[in-house]
């Protein structure tokens, strides 16, 4: 009898080549329980059970150590299985001496890492928070949040950290660095008013520190990018032909409301139905209207919203039935 042993190398290589469903990157890194996309932090497949496996360094940027209050270069004393009381006492003393109480920003970083892993997007969000925090202590901001009304102190504090975590990721997403900000905000049940307020706070301070001013020239580029993202999701839900039709129809709808999408378009900034809304919301609303005009079923709207949660469009989605009624 010939015993054949099949190597897992080909399977591992295949996994490494699988692209991230969120940003398309093939870069991945192992964490405690799953692989994460190294670029956007999307949770990928679960790690195989292997008693001998340990990631070489699942915290290259030191974000996990920072969130726990421990130095990334510090040491730990293991006393597992030891009955030596002196060793246990020494370990506790060492832990207290080498551990600092995490600041409010450190706790925000912890929420980011737990959701995105120690990815590049987590490091970028941390740098953004640190820059703003140096100019304005985020932990001392006492603006009331609607979503934490009636919560216990610890729950309310965690809610606040999650709002700022999602806001920092959302800002990076708006800058073109795709990540899981929308899904995180949905899964955490954040009130969109709190999230919008945190985004405005972080944006205003980071722009002031960089000497930048908000410019309307960003809006056309952001609208087209949002419509492109919606088209990618619709391709999976309804096929390429329907997705392209909705994309082109949505552009016509936005132009009809005086949104300037390309050079030569005539209109005025700040005028039109979509002007008061953020670019993600305006693009999603236009896409829903385009889906109705293109004859798609309304059920696809809710499916799209589940796959691509967008701040502030929940009510619009629920009240969009009239758009799909046949005249």
Can you give the pLDDT at residue 255? Answer: 86
Q: Residue 257 pLDDT > 80, yes or no?
A: yes
Can you give the pLDDT at residue 96? Answer: 61
pLDDT single digits (tens) 274-315: 888 888 999 999 999 999 999 999 999 999 999 999 888 999
Phi, psi of 183, deg, nearest 5? -70, -35
Question: What are the C-alpha distances in Å from 99 to residues 34, 88, 171?
Answer: 27, 16, 31
Calculated CA dihedral for residues 195, 197, 200, 206, nearest 10 degrees: -80
41 or 106: which leads in pLDDT: 106
DSSP notation for 304-325:
HHHHS--TT-HHHHHT-GGGGS
Can you give the pLDDT at residue 54? Answer: 46
Can you give the pLDDT at residue 290? Answer: 96
34 or 324: which leads in pLDDT: 324
Can you give the pLDDT at residue 277? Answer: 87
- The helix/strand count (H/E) of the chain reads as 13, 3
Give me the helix-helix angle, 153-174 and 120-135, nearest 10°. 110
Which token pair is 146?
Answer: 């609607």
pLDDT single digits (tens) 190-248: 998 899 889 989 988 888 887 765 555 578 888 888 999 999 999 999 999 999 999 99
Strands (E) in the chain, as ranges, are 28-30, 34-37, 43-46
Can you give the pLDDT at residue 144? Answer: 84
Nearest to 109 by CA among 93, 96, 122, 92: 122
73 or 177: which leads in pLDDT: 177
For the entire predicted model, the pTM comes to: 0.67
* Mean pLDDT, rounded, for 124-128: 92
Q: Residue 117 pLDDT > 70, yes or no?
A: yes
Mean pLDDT (the chain) is 79
Can you give the pLDDT at residue 60? Answer: 57
pLDDT single digits (tens) 58-94: 565 677 777 776 554 555 555 555 556 776 777 666 5
Residue 148 and residue 67 in contact, taking contact as beta carbons nearer than 8 Å: no
53 or 32: which leads in pLDDT: 32
pLDDT single digits (tens) 88-112: 777 666 566 555 678 899 999 999 9
Residue 28 and residue 37 in contact, taking contact as beta carbons nearer than 8 Å: yes
Enumerate the domain spans of the chain: 24-73+87-214, 218-324
pLDDT cut 90: percent of the chain above it: 34
Reported as type and span, the H/E element at residue 211 is: none
Strand partners, 37: 28
Residue 276 and residue 196 in contact, taking contact as beta carbons nearer than 8 Å: no
Rounded distance between C-alpha atoms, residue 68 and residue 196, angstroms: 28
Q: Residue 28 in 3-state DSSP?
A: strand
Can you give the pLDDT at residue 83? Answer: 59
223 or 53: which leads in pLDDT: 223
Structure confidence at residue 5 as a pLDDT band (50, 70, 90)? very low
Q: Quick count: other Cβ atoms within 10 Å of Cβ 36?
A: 26
Rounded distance between C-alpha atoms, residue 148 and residue 125, angstroms: 23
Rounded distance between C-alpha atoms, residue 311 and residue 80, angstroms: 47
pLDDT cut 70: percent of the chain above it: 75
């Amino acid at each position: 009898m010939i015993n054949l042993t099949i190597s897992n190398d080909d399977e591992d290589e295949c996994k490494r080549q699988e692209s991230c469903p969120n940003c398309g990157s093939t870069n991945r890194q192992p964490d405690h329980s799953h692989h994460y996309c190294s670029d956007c932090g999307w949770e990928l497949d679960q790690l195989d059970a292997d008693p001998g496996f340990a990631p070489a360094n699942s915290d290259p940027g030191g974000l996990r150590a920072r969130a726990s209050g421990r130095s990334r270069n510090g040491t730990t004393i293991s006393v597992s299985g030891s009955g030596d009381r002196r060793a246990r006492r020494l370990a506790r003393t060492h832990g207290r001496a080498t551990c600092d109480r995490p600041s409010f920003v450190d706790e925000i970083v912890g929420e980011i890492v737990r959701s995105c892993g120690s990815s590049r997007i987590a490091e970028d969000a941390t740098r953004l928070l640190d820059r703003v925090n140096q100019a304005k202590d985020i932990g001392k901001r006492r603006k009331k949040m609607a979503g934490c009304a009636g919560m216990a102190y610890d729950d309310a504090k965690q809610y606040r950290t999650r709002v700022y975590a999602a806001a920092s990721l959302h800002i990076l997403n708006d800058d073109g660095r795709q990540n899981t900000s929308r899904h995180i905000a949905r899964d955490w049940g954040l009130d969109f008013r709190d999230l919008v307020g945190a985004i405005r706070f972080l944006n205003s301070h980071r722009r002031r520190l960089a000497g930048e001013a908000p410019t309307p020239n960003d809006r056309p580029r952001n609208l087209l990018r949002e419509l492109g993202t919606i088209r990618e999701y619709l391709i999976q839900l309804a096929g390429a032909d329907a997705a392209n039709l909705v994309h082109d129809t949505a552009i016509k709808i936005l132009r009809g409301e005086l949104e300037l999408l390309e050079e030569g378009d005539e209109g005025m900034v700040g005028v039109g139905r979509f002007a008061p809304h953020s670019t993600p919301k305006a693009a999603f609303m236009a896409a829903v209207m385009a889906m109705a005009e293109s004859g798609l079923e309304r059920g696809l709207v809710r499916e799209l919203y589940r796959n691509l949660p967008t701040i502030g469009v929940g009510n619009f989605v629920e009240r969009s039935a009239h758009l799909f009624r046949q005249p």
